[in-house]
Structure 1
Amino acid sequence: MNNLKEILSKANRIDMFSPYFFLPFILILYFFVSLFDFHRFEQFRISESIWPAVILALVCYYIGVYIIDKLKWIIPSFGLSFWGKYVVHFVVFLTLLGLASFLMILFSGGLGISDESNRRNLSPKLYFFSQLLWFGVLLLLSYKMILEEKMTLKKAFVYGLIFAAVMFLFLLNGYRTPLIIMLFTGIIIFHYVVKRVKLTWFLSALFIIAVAFSMFGFIRVLTEDLTIESNSREQPNVDLTIEEKAKLLTAEQKVNLTPKWIRAINQESVTGHIVLSTIIEYTKEEDYLKGEIHRGIFNTVLPGEQTSPRMRVTEVVNSIGAEKGKWITRPTRTTTPTFIGQLFLDGGYLLVAIGFLLYGALISLIYNKVKRAGIRSFHAVAYAFVITVFTVSMHTGFLDLIFILMLGFVVIASSIIKIDKPKLQY
């Protein structure tokens, strides 16, 4: 018993949100949980191991973090420090623009939580700009929190209520990603400014949050209107051998032995595992897409009808799934490829290595600036936001132009804001 207490005591002293722990821990946990697949791997007949790509990603990430950490490099200001005093003013402008766009969505009756089809049919431009609302509120509230001379639990509760109100607004749109980013950025700020979050508490909270968001997605699927064509659950009409049909039927029977609500708990990670394995299988048969996925991020803003990167991923994985008699994703839906899958599809192991090396380096550059400036600085907000977005992208991929622009803004803002005398160091 004493040994267990000692182990827990040491674990609770870990800075969970440092570059060395948070993102790698979530990535390992994500794919570990996916191993409890309830026979879904057999159902989709996945054949390629994801672990070489996952291990390579982790190793390269750590190399990026370690090199920058040891060199003590920070993001340079590029001679633009005089713009630093206008950062907050610009964030306020973005917030007001986001509020106007959100109100237009609200009064148009296009809330996604009431109908899944509404969520997919939201005006792309309005939804794009409406996200500036939660982004601006997140930055402004977080920055206000860290500037508090004395942050009490009562003040933290008030800030939490404001966070919750904005999160509820975006809950109405039926999208989970903004909620997760707001939630974890807020937790990281709370950890550094209000009260250190212990590992045991964090793991408990992580489990509750994961189950809550999984059930949110589960209920969203259960309430679909199946009379709408885009909600069709028909499977591909392909000729399978008698043996293949028998194997597919047996696998589906095994899957159905587990109640749907239990399968929903780790549905996202299991699907991510299946998608990544299928992407690896596709590239062996058809070669890499050589930048098509990443070009598609920017092509979506061009005039005319464009195929989004996630829809292209759907086409890729379903080209394999159709041969096996089972769609990986319904053809009318987009597919989250995981960040590893996104990189692998365009350039294989080489691009995975480069991508995670750059991830690690960028996170470490910002973390080093936080260590110089102290946690009561905008740099702490920038770090919390960046590492949260990167961590969420382990599942979603990094394919949304709005998130790329947000990330770019935060990184540039952190680089040009001067380092004052630190009020509080790590």
Structure 2
Amino acid sequence: MKNLKEILTKVNRIDMFSPYFFLPFILVLYFFTSLFDWHKFEMFNIRVSIWPVLILALVCYYIGVYIIDKLEWTIPSFGLSFLGKYVIHFIIFLTILGLGSYLMMIFGGGLGISDEENRRNLDPKLNFFSQLLWFGVLLLLSYKMILEKKMTWKKAFVYGSIFAVVMFLFLLMGYRTPLIIMLFTGIIIFHFVVKRVKLTWFLSALFVIAVAFSMFGFIRVLTEDTTKDFNNRDQPDVELTVEERERLLTAEQKVNLTPKWMLALNEVSVTGHIVLSKIIEYTQKEDTLNGEIHRGIFNTILPGEQISPRMKVTEVVNSLSVEGGKFITRESRTTTPTFIGQLFLDGGYLLVAIGFLLYGVLISLIYNKVKQVGIRSFHSVAYAFVITVFTVSMHTGLLDLIFILMLGFVIIASSVIKTDRNRLQY
């Protein structure tokens, strides 16, 4: 018993949200939970291992973090420090713009939570700009919390309540990603200014959050209106040999023996594993896409009908799975490729190495700034937001232009804003 207490004490001393721990821990945990696949790997005929590219990603990430940490470099100002006094004012403007867009979309009938088809058919322009609401509120609230001279539990409750209201507003749209980003950024800020988050507490909270969001997705699928073409669950009409059909039926029977709620618990990570394996297999047969996925991020804002990057991923992975009589993703739906898969599909092992090296560099540059000027600065807010978005992108991929613009803004804001005596000057 004494030894167990000593172990827990040492474990709880770990800085949960340092660049060396948070993102790699979540990435490893994500793919570890995917190993409990409930025979889905057999059903989708998974043949290619993901572990070599995962190890490469982690090694390159740590190289980036370590080099910048040892050199003690921080993000430069790019000669734009004169803009620092306008940062907060601009965030307020973005928040107002987001609020107006959100209200217009909601009053126009844009409740994405009611059905997946509604969510996909939200007005793209209003949906784009409405994201600025949660982004602006998140930055402003986090900034205000950071600058509190004395953070009491009462104040923390008030801030948490405001967070909860904004999260509920975006729950109505049916999107989980903004909720997760707000939640984890808030937890990191709480860790900085209210009470240090212990690893044991974090793991417990992580389990509860993961189950809650898994059940959210599970319920969303259960309540689909299957009479709509968009919610069609038919499988591909392909000719299979007797052996292939028997193999598929056997695998499906094994999967169906597992309760649906249990399948839903780690469906996200299992699907991510399957998609990444199929992406690697696709490049072995057809070569990489040489930047097509990343060009698609910006092509989606061009006039006319454009194929989104995640729809392209759907085409790629389904082109392999339909041979076995199964869709990984239903037709007309998009696929989250994981950040590793996104890079691998466009440039193989080389692009994965470069991408994760840059992740490590950027995170370490901002973290060094936090260590240099103290936690009560905008740099802590920037660090919490950036590492959260990077971590979430381990599953979703970084394929949304709005998130890329948000990251760019926060990184530049952190570099130009002036900090004096641990207070923001504006």
Same fold (TM over 0.5): yes
2:125 counterpart letter in structure 1: K
Equivalents in 2 of 1:399, 1:7: separation in Å? 40
Q: Deviations over 1:318-371 (max 9, x none)?
A: 000111111110011000000000000001111000000000000000000011
Counterpart residue number, 1:322 = 322
Could you say which residue in structure 2 is the equivalent of 1:277? Answer: 277
**Aligned residue number for residue 16 of structure 2:** 16
- Partner residue of 1:30? 30
The one-letter amino acid of 1:105's match is: M
- Three-state SS of the structure 2 residue aligned to 1:297 is helix
CA distance in 1, matches of 2:421, 2:70: 22
Q: Partner residue of 1:174?
A: 174
* Alignment correspondent of 1:55: 55
Offset, 1:422:
3.8
Matches within 5 A, 1:373-384: 373-384=373-384
Q: What residue is the counterpart of 1:390 in the other structure?
A: 390
Aligned pairs for 1:195-344 (under 5 A) are 195-344=195-344
Match of 1:163 in 2: 163
Runs of 4+ in structure 1 off by over 6 angstroms are none
**Partner of 1:305: helix, strand, or coil?**
coil
What is the alpha-carbon distance in structure 2 between the residues aligned to residue 333 and residue 97 of structure 1?
Answer: 29
Cα distance, 1:420 vs structure 2: 2.1
Q: Secondary structure at the match of 1:113?
A: helix
The structural deviation recorded for 1:109 is 1.2
Unaligned runs of 5+ in 1: none
The Cα offsets for residues 217-262 of structure 1, whole Å up to 9 and x where unpaired, read as: 0000000000111111111111111000000000000000000000
Aligned-pair identity (%): 82
For residues 240 and 299 of structure 2, the distance between their equivalents in structure 1, rounded to whole angstroms, comes to: 37
Q: Report if the CA contact (8 A) 1:372-1:422 is conserved.
A: no
Q: CA RMSD in A?
A: 0.7
| Shift, 1:419, TM fit | 3.3
Deviation at 1:418, TM superposition (A): 2.0
Q: Secondary structure at the match of 2:20?
A: coil
CA distance, structure 1, for counterparts of residue 21 and residue 396 of structure 2: 20
User: Match of 1:145, as an amino acid?
Assistant: M
- Distance in 2 between the 1:292 and 1:278 partners? 17
CA distance in 1, matches of 2:401, 2:79: 27
Give me the whole-angstrom Cα distance separating, in 2, the residues matched to 1:198 and 1:142: 20
| Offset of residue 421 of structure 1 | 2.9
Alpha-carbon separation, structure 2, partners of 1:401 and 1:273 = 24
TM-superposed CA distance for 1:64, in Å, is 0.2
Q: Report the Cα distance in structure 1 between the residues aligned to 2:185 and 2:367, rounded to whole angstroms.
A: 14
Q: Confirm or deny: 8 A CA contact 1:279 1:345 kept in the other structure.
A: yes
Q: Shift in Å at residue 373 of structure 1?
A: 1.2
**Partner SS for 2:114:** coil
Taking the aligned partners of 1:147 and 1:169, their CA distance within structure 2 comes to: 26
Q: Please report the TM-score for the alignment, with normalisation by the length of structure 2.
A: 0.99
Structure 2 CA distance for aligned equivalents of residues 105 and 143 of structure 1: 28
- Residue segments in structure 2 that go unaligned for 5+ positions in a row: none
Shift in Å, 1:82: 1.2
Q: Deviations over 1:254-313 (max 9, x none)?
A: 000000000000000000000000000000010000000000000000011000000000
Q: How does 1:78-227 map to 2 (within 5 A)?
A: 78-227=78-227
The Cα of 1:192 is off from its aligned counterpart by 0.6
Alpha-carbon separation, structure 2, partners of 1:30 and 1:115: 27
CA contact (8 A) 1:64 1:357 kept: yes
